Structure 1
Amino acid sequence: MRKALLLSLLLLAACTGTSEPPLDLLLAVGSGDQVVFYPAGTAEAGAVGQWSLGAAVVDLLRLEGESRLWVLTPDRLLAYPLSGGSLTSPPAAVAPSVSLEIGADCSGGRLEAGSARLLLDCGGGLVWTAPLGAPALETVDTSGDATGTVYLLGPDDRLTRVAPTLTGFTLDYPGEEQDYSFTVYAGAAVNDLAARWSAGTLLVALATDVDVRLYTWSPGTDPPKSAGDPLALTSVRAIVPLSDGWLIGGDGGYVVRRSQTDDLRRTTPVDRGLVTPNLYCYLAAAGRLTVLDLLDPELAEHPRGFPADPRGLAWLPVGE
């Protein structure tokens, strides 16, 4: 049944001229000084292999359409060419084609994808972007930014800043014709903040003592607006865009908010999440990987074995 649904999506993609989603994928997971590869999907399966890098993996990133896997270590940003690989074997282990020295401790850093560049945030105001065509670290000026500012790449890779305040957040975005700056009052003390762009819309999630409050914004003069009732969460660790909504995860579980349906609340903790083109959603936390089949109306949870301390998730089509 699931294969028939996916094939119907492939037919729709062919009729509309959009690219067809790959069906066979590997999931790459950072663990210690290794990148471990697993078959994608809900079935329990062990690793098909791993790369040993000789340095701790901090985060992983693969941009759709690229044949490189970006790996962040505590002191370098690396890009590894992807070739070969199958549902029973990992891609060939080769030397990195890009190796950029960061010049700072990035052991708590993160990577974020844009359209033609990526963003590296090492914390403490140490932020860089790098163009994909000719990778080099370009320093972002963070002087004057508030502690806890979240940096993102928005439409056309425009650098977006979202910063927590005592009772809300500020948003700064450099538009094509004018810059936009907003201060939003949420009506409660803010303990944590996360933000994510998806399909031209920014979602900001604010964690208070009693709930998580959501706000959306699209580039323009209108300020961010509340995105429905608060969520029954008290922390926010991950925002996962879905085709028809969002999944918000934290220490105490996650909530799926989709259009035309009631919120789905589960207690499985989530540190990071990823949706693959064959419509599986992977939710990772320490020692746990939970897979949701987004074609399943019930969104049943499928637990899978996982490294004790996962660092980064990425997907890659088999054979690239």
Structure 2
Amino acid sequence: MKKLWPLPLALLGLILSACTGSQEPPLPALVAMGGEGEVRFFRARDLQGGTASPVGIWNTPSLQDLAHSQTFGRLYLLFPDRLEAYSTQGFTEDAVPQPAPTQAAFPNDVDCTGGYLRLGQNQLLAHCPEAGKAFLWSLDASGNLELADLTGLPREVRLALFPQGGQELLAYMTREALGYRPPQNPSGTPSLEKPLDPQASQGPYDLQLDRLRGRLLGLAATLAEVQLYTLEGESLSSRKVLADFPRPSRLALDPVGGGVVYGQGFQVLFPRESPVQRQFHTYTAGLVGQDGYLYLVQGQTLEVHDLVPSPAFLGRQALDFSPTSLAFIPVE
């Protein structure tokens, strides 16, 4: 793959269509893997080549999730009682200094165990499902946490951030509907809600923004199959993905590298859709890097696939721990 850096969205389609494979020098990058109270950092090119020796390990007891913003140059860590933001300036393929983080504490009555993070354009969303709370924090790690208003949303809702009209809206998915609204004003505008058809009986499993096309992608399941729901403009569509017999599933999206749904096997959604791959494998964490490689976790094992021009299995390797969240960090 060519070395790709963030570009205006109008150019991304041209970039994707120009990709012809991963034969060129790899993009210098780290893959951060969080789980079991640690964050381990690996060279992306090492993982692609079949080795898995970390270049750095951070001790992070009770870590719940992590996310990285290349635009703001920060790595965000979620804990039951707080958020932490670390500058990634100075990260290289050989070193991951751990500077003092900027912290934002949750209120004393909030336990974010089981929570997750979603990136917006300028804000970070931390959803704490068990506490029934969600918070917004500026991606530059300034200011205080802002409480999102979840009035009318069930506890099993999945949330994301959806930029529109100069605002960062709260996108939500329940078993009955997919929509968005202002995060502090449930009855405000712009807002939209569309009923799910077919209605889900399991999940929702995931909801994420497809930044390339400005649409929302959500996953849930009927009794028979996993459904991918796509809200684009004012149109909501659905279709079956993955293999028969629904299992929990998730999305791994990168506007340059591609989009994948994974769970019981995996299936590439874009830039070029694939049939279901490795459907007898169950994956619990995944990442698409902007270099066009797919990283999938199965227990304590990592698989790497080259997505360009079509999925190609590169190999698998033992990790000696079970990561639950992954992030791709381009470095100098």
TM-score class normalised by the smaller sequence:
0.7 to 0.9
Query: What SS does the corresponding residue of 1:235 show, helix, strand or coil?
Result: coil
Map Cα deviations across residues 146-182 of structure 1 (whole Å, 9 max, x no partner).
2311111012421111111xxxx21232389642122
From 216, 222, 234, the counterpart of 1:208: 222
Q: How many residues align?
A: 299
Contact 1:61 1:314 in 2 (8 A): yes
CA distance in 2, matches of 1:287, 1:262: 26
Change over 3 Å in CA distance of 1:182–1:37 after alignment to 2: same
Q: Does the alignment pair 1:308 with 2:327?
A: no
Query: What SS does the corresponding residue of 2:42 show, helix, strand or coil?
Result: strand
Map Cα deviations across residues 226-275 of structure 1 (whole Å, 9 max, x no partner).
24x4531412331123659642112x322234476552331332222222
Alignment of 1:270-309 (within 5 A): 270-309=283-322
**CA deviation after TM superposition for structure 1 residue 189, in Å:** 3.4
Change over 3 Å in CA distance of 1:258–1:34 after alignment to 2: closer
Map Cα deviations across residues 184-207 of structure 1 (whole Å, 9 max, x no partner).
231663354322210211112222
Aligned to 2:2: 6
Change over 3 Å in CA distance of 1:138–1:302 after alignment to 2: same
From 150, 163, 178, the counterpart of 1:171: 178
Map Cα deviations across residues 292-312 of structure 1 (whole Å, 9 max, x no partner).
112253422421322422132
CA distance in 2, matches of 1:244, 1:62: 15
Larger CA deviation: 113-122 vs 98-107: 98-107
Larger CA deviation: 146-155 vs 132-141: 132-141
**CA deviation after TM superposition for structure 1 residue 127, in Å:** 0.8
Aligned to 1:94: 99
| Matched residue type, 1:34 | E
Contact 2:125 2:137 in 1 (8 A): yes
Aligned to 2:38: 34
CA distance in 2, matches of 1:78, 1:187: 37
Contact 2:257 2:289 in 1 (8 A): no
Aligned to 2:144: 136
Query: What SS does the corresponding residue of 1:154 show, helix, strand or coil?
Result: strand
Contact 1:195 1:205 in 2 (8 A): yes
* Aligned-pair identity (%): 27
**CA deviation after TM superposition for structure 1 residue 280, in Å:** 1.2
Query: What SS does the corresponding residue of 2:95 show, helix, strand or coil?
Result: coil
Alignment of 1:145-184 (within 5 A): 145-155=153-163, 156-164=167-175, 169-174=176-181, 178-184=190-196
Aligned to 1:240: 252
From 169, 186, 193, the counterpart of 2:205: 193
Alignment of 1:112-127 (within 5 A): 112-124=118-130, 125-127=132-134
Change over 3 Å in CA distance of 1:258–1:317 after alignment to 2: closer
Unaligned 5+ segments in structure 2 are: 16-24, 183-187
Contact 1:285 1:310 in 2 (8 A): no
Computed over aligned residues only, the root mean square deviation of the Cα atoms, in angstroms, reads 3.0
From 50, 54, 62, the counterpart of 2:57: 50
Contact 2:157 2:204 in 1 (8 A): no
CA distance in 1, matches of 2:111, 2:200: 34
Change over 3 Å in CA distance of 1:188–1:159 after alignment to 2: closer
Change over 3 Å in CA distance of 1:288–1:162 after alignment to 2: same
| Matched residue type, 1:238 | R
CA distance in 2, matches of 1:244, 1:48: 24
Aligned to 1:81: 87
Unaligned 5+ segments in structure 1 are: none
